[in-house]
A and B are shown apart, each in its own frame.
Chain A
Amino acid sequence: MDLPINRNTPTVMHIDLNSCFATCEQQANPLLRNRPVAVAAYTTPNGCIVSPSYEAKAKGVKVGMTVRDGRLLCPDLYVMSPDPMKYRFVNLKLRDIFQTYSPDVVPKSIDEAVIDFANTPAMKRGLSTIGTEIKARLRSEIGVWMRCNVGIGTNRFLAKTAAGLHKPDGLDVITHENLKDVYASMKLTDICGIATRYEARLNACGIYTPLQFFHTSSEDLQKRVFKSIVGHYWYQRLRGYEIDSVDFDRKSYGQMYSLPKYTDKPDELGPILMKLCEKTGRRMRRAGSGAHGIHLALVYSDYTHWHRGKTLSTTLYATQDIYRKAQLIMSSQPEKKKVAKMSISCFDLIEQPGEQLRLFEDDDTKNWAASDAMDKINDRYGEFVITPALMMGMSELVVDRISFGGVKELEELYTN
């Protein structure tokens, strides 16, 4: 059955702070405004650029480039390390602004959020007016250099598409009236969710433009193009129906680290693994969770990788338990090669493991109590004031970072 374009009044707003980290840095330091700035994971030549400013982008600097390449393109590039506390502060200020208009605010990442205005009094004033007001409040309540893109549509997909039409500082609305015109002005890979591999799949079925994609029937998309229900989801999404408003529960806690110096020495990898376990364990315990599974992944300096997960009958809670299991997995590597990247995650989460009654007090109980006590000390006096002995001298390694995409912590901040 053919589905018409959704003709309802748009109620979804997508707000996106492009070049978020770089813009925050330019706001904090007025001397950097109108200059090419890049926030990089590390300021060393091999460091990865995570946020170039608009001025840097104009000179060809892109996300994912190394600092070395960025400086080749733009010799006067000002490179900085990330300051996560600053970005979290800006994110929370944004949350405060958004929540004055609607209780339904969902953070999509550190620099993006979706607001659903359905059945809110703000709808009477018109979402374009609200969007303009939010832009003004961003400047008055956070700083004059802050800019954002606002997109409005009948579903999250169209709102995000609208937010990407006129960067920076754009405000666009996609309705049933201009939907086809918008698609006509785009390439397939401009569509959020369509990258080169999906593009190749669409091309293979004779679909080369977003308009052709839009005009393809649900049946064709399901049976010929995507060969799954995903095709029908795209059919609905492109017509402005909401199918992305889905809440996902947290499934795991994990940490990842790119080593500045590649190594295969156990005495150098051990402390790094311990710090990853401590950070993972601390976040998990703070949420009142334990885990029954652990996963370790290693990327080697030759770009090959190895990973292994393990499900356990016992509960992982204390850092020492997590570390012991992680070390066991690491020692089962088939080949010892220099490690470039290491990640650890705990899955199969359970709630309130500490409250489970035990018949006998054992070593686990003592470890758990010790972990809780260490957490309390760190809560009171600051992170890593007290740490396992293996982590001595590790304060400069595995520093605080904000992940791309992963917003579970932000969601928890939004609801607390």
Chain B
Amino acid sequence: MHQTIHESIDVIAVFPRGSSHALPKRIKWQGKDYSITELGMHYPQRQGRVLHHIFSVTAGTLFFRLNFNTETLQWVVEEISDGLAD
């Protein structure tokens, strides 16, 4: 099941020294805490002049696509999936 959404979320991320990207560690979505278990892919994406960072992460059996807006410093969850066919 795959769902496209657009919701602001709370994220705890670390910015490792020497690394080229941040690592989201925990997210709070719809009142529930999720610990990130794996970062699948991270890539930058420009929308006009604004730079966004897209993080594809899993938290246990859930997949989240997170969007970090470098101008507003807001995190948004854009997709959620359990990896099972519809």
A residues lining the B interface (CB < 8 Å): 24, 27-32, 35, 75-80, 85-86, 89, 142-143, 378-383, 385
Asked if B56 and A379 sit within 8 Å, CB to CB, the answer is no
B7 interface residue per 8 A CB criterion: no
CA of A383 to CA of B56 in the docked complex: distance in angstroms?
Answer: 23
Given the contacts A75-B85, A77-B85, A80-B2, A28 and B41 also touching, CB distance less than 8 Å: yes
Report whether A31 and B83 are in contact in the complex, using a CB–CB cutoff of 8 Å.
yes
Complex CA–CA separation, A402 to B53 (angstroms): 21
User: Given B41, B48, B61, B65, which contacts A380 in the complex, CB threshold below 8 Å?
Assistant: B48
Flag if B43 contacts A78 (CB, 8 Å).
Answer: no
CB under 8 Å from chain A, chain B span 27-68? 38, 40-41, 43-45, 47-50, 54, 56, 58, 61-63, 65
Contact flag A35-B48 (CB < 8 Å), given A29-B58, A85-B43, A143-B41 = no
Task: Choose one: A30, A75, A86; the contact of B43 (CB below 8 Å).
Answer: A86
B84 interface hit (Cβ, 8 Å)? yes
The 5 closest A-B pairs by CB, nearest first: A31-B83, A382-B48, A28-B56, A89-B43, A28-B41
Contacts of B54 in A (CB 8 A): 85-86
Q: How far is the CA of A379 from the CA of B41 in the complex (A)?
A: 26
| Contact in complex: A76, B56 (CB < 8 Å) | no
Bound CA span A383–B48, Å: 7
Majority-rule SS of B interface residues: strand
Question: B10 at interface (Cβ–Cβ under 8 A)?
Answer: no
CB distance from A139 to the nearest CB of B (A): 13
Chain B positions within 8 Å of A30 at CB level:
38, 40, 58, 63
In the bound complex, how far is the Cα of B58 from the Cα of A154, in angstroms? Answer: 44
Chain B interface: which size bin?
20 to 34
Instruction: For the complex formed, measure the closest distance between the CB of B2 and the CB atoms of chain A, giving whole angstroms.
Output: 7
Q: A32-B83, A85-B54 are in contact. List 5 more A-B contacts (CB 8 A).
A: A27-B41, A31-B63, A75-B85, A379-B49, A382-B50
On whether A378 and B83 interact (CB within 8 A), knowing A30-B58, A31-B58, A80-B2, the answer reads: no
**Residues of chain B with a CB closer than 8 A to A31's CB:** 58, 61-63, 81-83
CB contact between A385 and one of B48, B61, B83 (< 8 Å): that residue: B48
* Cα(A77)–Cα(B45), bound, Å: 28
The chain A residue sitting closest to B46, CB to CB, is A382
A78 touching B49, Cβ below 8 Å: no
The answer for the CA separation of A35 and B81 in the assembled complex, in Å, is: 14
A373 to B82 alpha-carbon distance, docked (Å): 44
Q: State A30–B57 Cα separation when bound (angstroms).
A: 8
Distance from B51 Cβ to chain A, minimum over Cβ atoms (Å)? 12
Asked if B41 and A78 sit within 8 Å, CB to CB, the answer is no
> 17 A-B contacts, Cβ less than 8 Å apart?
A27-B40, A28-B56, A29-B40, A29-B56, A30-B38, A30-B63, A31-B61, A31-B63, A76-B85, A78-B84, A78-B85, A89-B43, A378-B48, A379-B49, A381-B48, A382-B47, A382-B48
One digit per residue, 1 when the CB lies within 8 angstroms of any chain A CB and 0 when it does not, for chain B 74-86 equals 0000000111111
Set of chain A residues within 8 Å of B41, measured between Cβ atoms: 24, 27-28, 86, 142-143
- How far does the Cβ of B77 sit from chain A's closest Cβ, in whole Å? 14
Q: Judging by beta carbons under 8 Å apart, are A35 and B49 in contact?
A: no
Q: A30-B58, A80-B2, A143-B40 are in contact. Are A381 and B85 (CB under 8 A)?
A: no
B37: nearest chain-A partner, CB-CB: A30
| A80→B49 CA distance, assembly (Å) | 28
Report whether B48 and A379 are in contact in the complex, using a CB–CB cutoff of 8 Å.
Answer: yes
| Alpha-carbon distance between A75 and B54 when the two chains are bound, in angstroms | 30
**Which of B56, B62, B83 is A78 in contact with, Cβ under 8 Å?**
B83
Q: Which of B50, B61, B63, B83 contacts A35 (CB 8 A)?
A: B83
CB atoms of B83 and A29 under 8 A apart: yes
The CA-CA distance from A143 to B42 in the complex, in Å, is 10
How far does the alpha carbon of A142 sit from the alpha carbon of B40 in the complex, in Å? 9
Residues of B within 8 A of A24 (CB): 41
Instruction: Enumerate chain B residues within 8 angstroms of A378, measured Cβ to Cβ.
Output: 48
Report whether A79 and B85 are in contact in the complex, using a CB–CB cutoff of 8 Å. Answer: yes
Residues of B within 8 A of A382 (CB): 47-48, 50
Question: With a CB–CB cut-off of 8 A, which chain A residues contact B83?
Answer: 29, 31-32, 35, 78
How long is the Cα–Cα vector from A383 to B40 in the complex, in angstroms? 27
